[in-house]
Structure 1
Amino acid sequence: MVVDVRGRVLSARVRGAGPAVVLDCGGAGAGVDGGWGPDLEELLAESRTVVSYDRAGSGRSGGEARRTVAEMADDLRELLRELEIRTPAAFVGWSFGALVTQVYAARHPEDVAGLVFVDPTPTGERPGSKVMQRAGFTATPLLLRMSARTRELGRALRHMRENIAEATETVERAGLPAVPLRVLRASVRPKLPKAQAEFQDRSLRELAARSPLGEFVLVDGASHNIPWERPESVVDAVRSVMSG
């Protein structure tokens, strides 16, 4: 279905019945056309109302992409109101989508019953040269946009550095609600310098500690594509935060 949200037409899918689970996909934000893999939504929909959507400017959703994470989070809130989804709900954010769900939870804590962050984009102060970091954040989206297969992801990530800084500041200032929270981290990681690997691990553990009901979970045998490779781990995390 398509929904008019603040001047943009967003594509969304609602399936199942029961307490609501809201899925926010990764960098490209295209969750409706298989962004979460073939099994995850079906498993969740056996006992829950499952909402997936494409952020503005991605997938089947129209308009230009929102530049700030706060705008993305506010789009999501308005979408849920238009769909008449009952809150509080559980929110699941994968990769970049975890930035959106963190900012959503910080801005609208009354809507949130539980949080699951699936191999989330790390936040906080990164190690290494600031010049090299800026160069990397600039070059990566440009390289992705050179291929038709990754062009949409490249467009979505062109403000990644600013988006990470915004999400970091928002959560530091407002905090996250004291709800059940799970942070799932992939055990299969790309080879990184030691300082970078330690930063990523520390960032995810600190995210789990932002709620007194938070837990860090290492997902064995899975890469960043946890929803495709180990969907049951996400389902278990959702069940855990919704029963906690």
Structure 2
Amino acid sequence: MDIASIDVGGRRMCAQVRGHGPSLVLDCGGAGQGLGGAWGTGLEDDLAALATLVTYDRAGAGRSDGPQSRTVADMTDDLHRLLRGLGLPLPAVFAGWSFGGLVVQHYALRHPDDVAGLVFVDPTAARTPPGSALVRTLSFAFVSRALRLRALLPTASSRSIRELAGTLAALPRHMREVADAFERGTLPPVPVRVITAGKRPRMPKAQLAHLNSCHQELADGSPHGRLVVAEHATHQIPHEQPEIIRQVISEIL
């Protein structure tokens, strides 16, 4: 795998560019490691046959220099500098899965001229969910702590688990940051698709309603937006129903 290492202001970020045609940027989930088939090797190969495909590791994740960025704005500005360092033809279609959906939302708000289309794959909701903010913060802190303890075991996934733990610890703050950004602006008027999971784990009805409404609202935020349900998939849509992502991205391209 040919990896490019790009200076983004005193740090180096690693990316891979494959394929030909219109530009497509994939942003991965909370661990921040986008290289090495995070979306599924088969799906990424298929997308590289349709477009100039960019995958990358966020700052402080995988092969990219650290530490991890403290804000989503920093993550989007890192990506902005990375794409220019790569010489990628812009505007591009951006696809974000899970936490990557927050990064792509913020990127589109901050750098709208770079964006030709948006695909959100079961994205993390930016709006404040129902329930106690204190309980929510403590819950994320507990999960983050449990992941850090798990990462003490010397396994191949230890580093990605530690990086995911760091993202989850700051997730409530990241969600507020993106929600605040939406208070100041709107998505560019480009095609938008929100792919939502059809299979959900047990959760309170209010939480489920909140997630569903956030996904619908994100799709409705563009005159060219549409919600797509991956009926046979959980949150792991790229691995359980990759064909729906392939179809949607093909339409946007």
TM-score by length of 1: 0.96
Q: Give the match's secondary structure for 1:145.
A: helix
- The amino acid across from 1:16 in the alignment is G
Q: Which runs of 5+ in 2 are unaligned?
A: 152-157
Q: Partner residue of 1:177?
A: 188
Indicate yes or no: 2:99 matched with 1:89. Answer: no
Shift of 1:212: 0.7
- Find the residue that maps to 2:17 and give its secondary structure: strand
Q: Quote the residue 1:147 is aligned against.
A: 150
Q: State the one-letter code of the partner of 2:77.
A: D
Q: Residues 127 and 199 of structure 1 are in contact (CA less than 8 Å); yes or no, is this contact kept in structure 2?
A: yes
Instruction: Tell me the SS of whatever aligns to 2:175.
Output: helix
Q: Residue 41 of structure 2: SS of its match in structure 1?
A: coil
Count the aligned residue pairs.
Answer: 242
Q: 1:214 matched to which residue of 2?
A: 225
Q: Residue 167 of structure 2 aligns with which residue? A: 156
Q: Does structure 1 retain, via aligned residues, the 8 Å contact 2:194–2:218?
A: yes
Q: Which residue of 2 aligns with 1:103?
A: 106
Distance in 2 (CA, whole Å) between partners of 1:14 and 1:240 is: 21
**What do you get for the CA RMSD once the two structures are aligned?**
1.1
Post-superposition Cα deviations, 1:17-57, rounded to whole Å, max 9, x if no partner, equal 01000000000011102211121111011121000000001
CA distance in 1, matches of 2:80, 2:133: 34
Matched position secondary structure for 1:59: coil
Is the contact between residue 186 and residue 223 of structure 1 (CA under 8 Å) also seen in structure 2?
yes
Which amino acid is 1:206 matched to? E
Measure, in 1, the Cα distance between the counterparts of 2:99 and 2:127: 14
Q: Matches of 1:41 and 1:7 in 2, distance apart?
A: 30
SS state at 1:14 partner:
strand
| Cα distance, 1:179 vs structure 2 | 0.5
SS at match of 1:11: strand
Q: Which residue of 2 aligns with 1:189?
A: 200
Structure 1 residue aligned with 2:8: 5
Q: Which residue of 2 aligns with 1:232?
A: 243
Cα distance in 1, alignment partners of residues 171 and 78 from structure 2: 18
* Alignment partners' CA distance in 1, 2:8 and 2:109: 21
Q: CA shift at 1:240, angstroms?
A: 1.8
Aligned counterparts, 1:43-122, within 5 A: 43-122=46-125
